[in-house]
Copies of this chain bind each other. A is one copy, B any other.
């Protein structure tokens, strides 16, 4: 944002007014006889340009056109397969194992999660693994396992489409298609997923700026997705004591400034079970509309990411506590 001054305006007085509204401003000077231009830094509080235009001495307020108008136009509360998510809705739980391991595993998990108030069954059919030699998920067959388990228990399904070929089967079986962190800027995939016309859960890339993340959402909406829920799952960091770095500042911004429904995945963010509970609480306090938490009946036997899975027995206690803090789930 750039604020132009009227000729003869008292610069220090205008600066005071801008500072008073939470704006970080630097002054740029052209020819000596022209008033300075005031450049507002992006880490300033959000204000209505019209309000600034009314300040004594201000000639004009120039702004960049939103690069993501469809995202900006999303309602603050979305409906995902009948489940409301966002402003005013109870916090949504999306839980399940990293990988779906069998039909029985899916069903048993769903049966234990539903009574805890978990509305979305999450789990991987196609798994993005760092090594080509690691277990890559059971594939298409696991989608059916999830669907049937969800139907049997009255839950919804959210699962990842890792490539364009997976979009059709995932769209057929899931209520919400997940875009993984590693694919946040895989634009051909985003377009294919958008064309499937299903709600999307869009995880943030490991080094994505907020603007890039919102633009990835714009790709989805522009390609046909009816709605996009953003999901913060931790970004890359220099500190090795957590698997990733949970950016709750981004969550607060998306929830309170950009007014987007946002879900937080503390499991991937921390990678360590001993801080998932406080980070889950913190995510809700920062403005998250839901949480995605990995769980497993026997983490030691999980086919992937067992170390970060919350044992199902512990999840019960955690969700009960979070539910009362968040205002309760239905």
Contact = CB atoms under 8 A, between A and B. Distances in A.
Contacts of A112: none
A309 to B, nearest CB: 9
A215 B2 contact: no
Contact of A36 (B30, B62, B189): B62
How many copies are assembled?
4
Interface string A43-55: 1111000000000
Given A183-B186, A285-B284, A307-B45, A248 B250 contact: no
Nearest to A213: B239
A130 B275 contact: no
Given A22-B273, A130-B215, A279-B248, A241 B253 contact: yes
A132 interface: yes
Nearest to A127: B187
A210 to B, nearest CB: 5
B209 A187 contact: no
Contacts of A197: none
A236 interface: yes
Contacts of A278: 252, 255-256, 285-287
A210 B243 CA distance: 13
A16 B247 CA distance: 31
Scoring A18, A243, A284, A298 by chain B CB atoms within 10 A of each residue's CB, the highest score goes to A243
A29 interface: yes
A317 B133 CA distance: 43
Contacts of A130: 185, 211-212, 215
A240 interface: yes
B43 A271 contact: yes
B271 A24 contact: yes
A64 B29 CA distance: 6
Interface of A: 1-2, 4, 16-24, 26-31, 34, 36-37, 39, 41-46, 60-65, 67, 126, 128-133, 136, 162-166, 182-183, 185-189, 191-192, 205-207, 209-212, 215, 218-219, 222-223, 234-243, 245-250, 252-253, 255-257, 269-275, 278-279, 281-287, 298-302, 306-308, 325
Closest 9 CB pairs of A and B: A163-B188, A20-B300, A207-B207, A182-B185, A30-B60, A28-B62, A282-B286, A30-B62, A281-B285
